[in-house]
Amino acid sequence: MKKWQAPEVLSGRGADRWSFGVLLYEMVTLGDPPFAKINETELLQHLQRGKHLKRPLGCSNSLYSVIRACCHWGPEDRLSTSELIRTLHEAGKSANGRTALSASEPLNIERYLREAGYAGAYNYAVL
């Protein structure tokens, strides 16, 4: 299991909304890997205990609620696609033209791959 995969990828459906929530998390953090301090072999138990992605610094309440709602353990507890669209639309209204993302430093691709569980597994090119 990789850190951005929904738990049911191993045996079921509903992973698209989980993956979207993790993608939002990565966007807000400008590339921080999800569950960075959790060992890949311990992730499933971590999630089964009801743990979730921590709120990123500077993440609005409305956006964090979307991330959390997408990343519930059970797929039946996640936002439906129509609820997700409506919630994102409402969250966009509350942004008030503020800058949402601002990088303080460039992404460290080696660190990202290591923390995501891919250290040494793939060749890649930075463009």
The answer, yes or no, to whether residue 68 has pLDDT greater than 90, is yes
CB 75 within 8 A of CB 18: yes
CB 67 within 8 A of CB 24: yes
Which one has a higher pLDDT value, 70 or 14?
70
Given pLDDT bands bounded at 50, 70 and 90, which one contains residue 33?
A: confident
Highest-scoring range by mean pLDDT, 40-49, 96-105, 114-123: 40-49
What is the residue-averaged pLDDT of the chain? Answer: 79
Closest CA to 88 of 71, 72, 65: 65
CB 91 within 8 A of CB 62: yes
The answer, yes or no, to whether residue 25 has pLDDT greater than 90, is yes
Lookup: tokens for 90: 């409402």
Closest CA to 87 of 57, 54, 63, 55: 63
Considering the domain 7-115, what is its CATH architecture? Answer: Orthogonal Bundle (1.10)
Mind listing the pLDDT tens digit for each residue in 74-116? Answer: 889 998 888 988 888 887 777 666 655 656 667 677 777 777 6
Lookup: tokens for 64: 């964090």
Determine the 3-state secondary structure of 55 from DSSP.
Answer: coil
N-term to C-term CA, the chain: 28
Q: How many helices (H) and strands (E) does the chain have?
A: 5, 0
Amino acid in the structure at residue 85: I
> What is the chain's Cα-based Rg?
15
Ordered by start, the domain boundaries in the chain are: 7-115
Eight-class DSSP state of 66 = H
